[in-house]
Amino acid sequence: MRVLIAEDDEELAGTLAVGLRRENMAVDVALDGTSAAEKVTLTPYDVLVLDRDLPGVHGDEVCREMVASGAPTRILMLTAAGTLGERVAGLTLGADDYLAKPFAFAELVARIRALARRSRPPTPPRLAFGDLLMDPARQVAERAGRQLQLTRKEFGMLEVLLTADGAVVTTEELLDRIWDENADPFTNTVRTTMMRLRRKLGQPPLIITLPGRGYRVGTP
């Protein structure tokens, strides 16, 4: 899951980014509205966590532009203005959800996950292929009854491949969905992570490489 936090409080933005990464999300940060508007045009985020009172381009304008563009990114307004009138105004602009500060981090995570499910075609609560079973909500994966000890990146990669249901997933798609903007697209990060994932999945192989195209789940 790819998330953008648009928040001008640098300390809060950093804290949220660290916490959401621990929840297996790829997180980018924008400290002003201008940067947020640029990032959302370049990256297919699942969810935008948007502070309303951003410097530069106001958060309301970022929201309007996102809605007008027709992008599937879901918008969660996160702001200190928590009155009923403010919430109604934010939702009227096109935001999908509204959470007032201060807030419980667990609630923020739950709302982001709920919005992310709406940004993509619906997927079953449990993903499976052969004797491999994954429960994304519980962050658990097992094969033939053996629980797999996967890192966050390995788990995210496997989730994307299983969700694709046999379709080819390119390296660029994996970078966009699982890594944040600090990932170097010219490194072998995806290939290295894929090697570790395959080793942990064991035999027989469940992931096929299509040279020059990408990866898919399947049997040789």
Q: Per-residue confidence at 212, pLDDT binned at 50, 70, 90?
A: confident
**Chosen domain end from 119, 136, 171:** 119
> Among 121-125, 138-142, 179-183, where is mean pLDDT lowest?
121-125
**Chosen domain end from 58, 91, 119:** 119
Quote the mean pLDDT of the chain.
88
**Chosen domain end from 87, 119, 151:** 119
State whether 33 and 105 are in the same domain.
yes
Q: Per-residue confidence at 42, pLDDT binned at 50, 70, 90?
A: confident
User: pLDDT exceeding 70 applies to what percent of the chain?
Assistant: 92
- Encode pLDDT of 76-128 as tens digits: 998 776 566 676 776 778 889 988 888 999 999 999 988 987 766 656 678 99
State whether 12 and 43 are in the same domain.
yes
Q: What is the CATH number of the domain that holds 17?
A: 3.40.50.2300
State whether 106 and 149 are in the same domain.
no
Question: What is the domain extent for residue 78?
Answer: 2-119
Residue 141 Cα to chain centre, angstroms? 18
* The pLDDT of residue 44: 87
State whether 138 and 90 are in the same domain.
no
* The pLDDT of residue 148: 95
Tally the domains of the chain. 2
Q: Per-residue confidence at 182, pLDDT binned at 50, 70, 90?
A: confident
* The pLDDT of residue 53: 87
Query: Stretch 64-81: mean pLDDT, rounded?
Result: 88
* The pLDDT of residue 121: 61
State whether 98 and 21 are in the same domain.
yes
* The pLDDT of residue 79: 79
**CA 80 – CA 86 distance, rounded (Å):** 10
State whether 159 and 76 are in the same domain.
no
